[in-house]
Structure 1
Amino acid sequence: MARDPFVVVGGDAAGLSAASKFRREADRDVVVFERGRWISYAHCGEPYFVEGTVERLTDLLSLSPADVADRGIDLRRGHEVVSVSPEQRTVTVEADGDRFDQPYAELLVATGASATTGALDTALDGVFTIHGLDSAAATDAYLTSPAEYDWSRLGDGPVDEARVERNAALDPPERAAVVGGGYVGVEMTEALVARGVDVHLFQRPEHLLPPFGEAIGERVADHLAERGVTVHTGASVTKLVGDDRIEAVAYDGERLPVGMAVIGIGVTPNTAPLDGTGVDRGPGTAVRTDAYGRTSLPAVYAAGDVATARHAVTGAETWVPLGLTANRAGRAVGATVAGDPTPVGEVAGTAVVKAFDLECGRVGLTDEGTAAAAGFDPASETITAGSRSGYYPGGDETTVTLLADRTTGRVLGGAIAGRDRAAIRIDTLATAIESDLTVAELERLDLAYAPPFSPVWDPVLVAAKVLNGRLDD
């Protein structure tokens, strides 16, 4: 008697990584249900499509439905899994007005996350969350004069043409408010400036990019100001004002006229299919998983932005919705279900972001308060060093914040900013964390040196040397 298939809910990074790995390793059926029409696309590339750096929307696709079919995967788009019955081992699916139950032998929930907007009314024309290719397409259309919109920018994907047409018919804005100074907010600020828009960036905390630490956040704010952006830190947008189309944003008792607002204040995991199952939840209401992506429900896994993970520094449960985390976890679950138990891996929150010419990276813990709350005795240093030998052209000041535990000397995290290959240097710190290096061991790493690439003492080594000296005091 044939076994029921491996069923995957979600056709993006984690879901299709799992399905692809499973089909390579096992001679069994796998069914992927995707509620939308788009699959396997690069969320992180959407600001660069809006900016114009990416020429066509479909350039952001990794796999086409035909590619997925060639891998032997039964992909069903426009199919929404609305509930799960762990007792019956079935999922209930809605498609084209019909409803049916699909049995499964194993189930992976890889439904991702959705943009959050808080109490802000996003129904007004001119208000966008950059989360999904249809959203990116509509934003691009809104920024273009009606007579100049180039439909070829969309490529040949399943775009929501009515939504694009509505936004393409509106006159483009002269001023925009970006609400939220995280990854999306900073990237969209750059994109809007490139499109000729006057941008005001609002951030409720006192500095931008909170996970990167205060020193990096302040450097980013200064750089944005140099590029003509008005940065409002410690400012909370409380209302989007307008009848049909946005006219202004209200913040801290003031009102700023705008013709556009981009909301980038965070995401929330899409856990609705598991409502009513009693599945264990973790931080951010994400689905709690073990080292192999297994949930508290029998034969049910979760991976990607919907699932928790284990933090590489603290060892605690955490929720880090990032692209590599999703792809890696999905692939591991696919291998496990196929019969090769594979850990999804720990996460250190390694991330990079670009703000015009300024590159930023972060990993692990960057705040002494957070480290102390996790049980460490933290010490940190922030240094500035050249990115190349001083006599070689093209270098830039690189800011490095490094955090360590006084008791053990262990590297806990760090952040980097600069205009000359700064972001990629964060991988050295990520490797140090994954290897449990001490600051002294980090200082002794034999990093490459040549004048066009680095000074004799790379900025990461300078930070380690200074912090190690402090630990020795």
Structure 2
Amino acid sequence: MSDPFVVVGADAAGLSAASKFRREAPDRDVVVFEKGRWISYAYCGMPYFIEGRVERMSNLLSLSPSDVDERGIDLRRGREVVAVDPDGKTVTVETTEGDTVEQAYGDLLVATGGRATTGPFDVEGVDGAFTLHDMDTAAAIDAYVAEPDAYDPGRADVSAVDRGRVERNAAMTAPETAAIVGGGYVGVEMAEALRGRGLDVHLFQRSSHLLPPFGEAVGERVADELDAKGVTVHAGTPVEELVGDDRIEGVAVGDGSGNRGDPLSVDLAIVGVGIRPNTELLEGTGVGLGEGGAIRTDEYGRTTLPDVYAAGDCATAIHAVTGEEAWMPLGLTANRAGRAVGSTVAGNRSPVGDIAGTAAVKAFDMEAGRVGLVEDKAAREAGFDPVRETVTAGSRSGYYPGASPTDVTLVADRDSGRVIGGSIVGPDRAAVRIDTLSTALEADMTVAEVERLDLAYAPPFSPVWDPVLVAAKVLNGTLDGD
């Protein structure tokens, strides 16, 4: 047909859109281009594969190419879209064989995701130095940390795996000491994973506490947990340089004041300092770009170009608290937005939904969650006057086995009393409690309204006053006293 729905990217947003579109518009073609061979995989599951909790790489796949074919989707792997002509409504596609072809579209979705940034650190061509943002790297790290005679190649049981890269890493002497650069999601999860594989792990964070988006209370308890499990945490300690030519030999660290100490000897380095959106294919089109260089979209995922949509880690969305555009690359955001775009293109307009940065992370036995505007700086920049309280409450009735301290930080706007953010940390089902605060934010609830929520109580699950209610009660008292 002359008006196919063309999708660029075959992961969360792209295949969600294509699948939804195919169900709702069976008479139109849908073509999905993917520059690599991997499709529809669980990026967030890679640290757990490396740790060994996930036994096989295939367990991380949501859809296989044959599954996609059965849905009536024309999936073309090994095809990179390198340019878009919004006037002619065509995309330029390069094949792995070096050929170039043009593909017409009626509607286009850019779902190209993001890629890991390395900052000043060059990991290319350095054995033992990695950034973790794709399945081939996860397979390579898994092979690298195993002793050559103990590596099980069956763990990387997917045909798309770069087998040569895996075999090369599997043949190397296993590392003993690892440096992780960056104390965000990937850094914390990889610290646990590598410790689980028996390595001596050092985690470096440039700022004063781990997991900056979660706030100081969470960062401190997570650091304590990592330390208790044998991970050496270096907060406020920037890594200045990776040392080594052909293979990683160490990391040179500073003290935050420009002074550099002796390098720490390591034989594995993981750089996790952030990601950036993949938007190069739209260069020269005049498309609007927003926060973080991501593609600016409206409530339906439409870009500033006609009949061109964007979703997932390459696109912005509207923040539920501020009402302004924001860029928060997270899994649910991508899946939900892709599904909505697919429905809209099929003729059933569906908003992609607001985002609040709701997230959770695990560090050994410690869980943490965050939502909204947790840090005062971000709240003030958004025009709020933040008031916060951090409380510690039991996760269950005190007499019931398993009760553990749970820290809840709740942030509200002083003038309106509206809840604008919060974080939770503790070892006993703390992370899932963040969903209560996420719902409160989406509903524009005040602290007083949260305090009156009728949350479930039974000794095995919660005390009479859930930790979220305790935090609301204390913060409400502070607001009343102002």
Give TM-score, length-normalised by structure 2: 0.97
Aligned to 2:150: 148
| Structure 1: unaligned runs, 5 residues or longer | none
Matching of residues 269-280 of structure 1 within 5 Å: 269-280=277-288
Give the Å deviation of 1:376.
Answer: 1.0
* 1:290-439 map, 5 Å: 290-439=298-447
SS in 1 for 2:155: helix
Q: Give matches, 1:15-414, under 5 Å.
A: 15-26=14-25, 27-95=27-95, 96-123=97-124, 124-252=126-254, 253-254=260-261, 255-414=263-422
- CA contact 1:36–1:77 (8 Å) conserved in 2: yes
SS in 2 for 1:305: coil
2:473 to 443, 457, 465: 465
> Which residue identity lines up with residue 117 of structure 1 in the other structure?
T
Q: Which whole-Å CA distance do the structure 1 matches of 2:226 and 2:102 have between them?
A: 52
> 1:183-203, CA deviations, whole angstroms, 9 ceiling, x for partnerless residues?
000000000000000010000
Residue by residue over 1:388-441, the C-alpha shift from the partner in whole angstroms, topping out at 9 and shown as x without a partner, is 111111111000000001111111010000000000000000000011111001
Number of aligned residue pairs: give it.
Answer: 472
SS at match of 1:219: helix
Contact 1:58-1:157 at 8 Å conserved across structures: no
Query: Aligned partner of 1:161: which letter?
Result: R
> SS in structure 2 opposite 1:187?
helix
Q: Write the deviation string for residues 338-373 of structure 1: whole angstroms up to 9, x where unpaired.
A: 001111110000000000000000000111221122
Deviation at 1:337, TM superposition (A): 0.3
SS at match of 1:146: coil
Cα displacement (A) at 1:157: 2.9
Q: Which runs of 4+ in 1 moved over 4 A?
A: none
Distance 2:228 2:465 in 1: 29
- 2:313 aligned counterpart, secondary structure: helix
Post-superposition shift, 1:316?
1.1
Deviation at 1:153, TM superposition (A): 0.4
Q: Which amino acid aligns with 1:38?
A: W
State the AA in 2 paired with 1:155. D
Contact 1:359 1:421 in 2 (8 A): yes
CA contact (8 A) 1:385 1:398 kept: yes
Q: What do residues 130-179 of structure 1 show as CA deviations (whole Å, max 9, x unaligned)?
A: 11110100000000011111011011331000100110010111100000
The amino acid that maps onto 1:412 is I
The answer to whether the Cα contact below 8 Å between 2:393 and 2:470 also exists between their aligned partners in 1 is yes
State the Cα deviation string for residues 177-229 of structure 1 (Å, max 9, x = none): 00000000000000000000001000001110001001111111111111111
Report the aligned-residue RMSD.
Answer: 0.7
What TM-score, normalized to structure 1? 0.99
Shift of 1:119: 1.2
Q: Distance in 2 between matches of 1:172 and 1:309?
A: 43
Q: Do the aligned partners of 2:410 and 2:475 also contact (CA within 8 Å) in 1?
A: yes
Q: Is the 8 A contact 1:352 1:362 kept in 2?
A: yes
Q: Could you tell me how far 1:240 is from its partner in structure 2?
A: 0.7
Aligned: 1:450 with 2:438: no
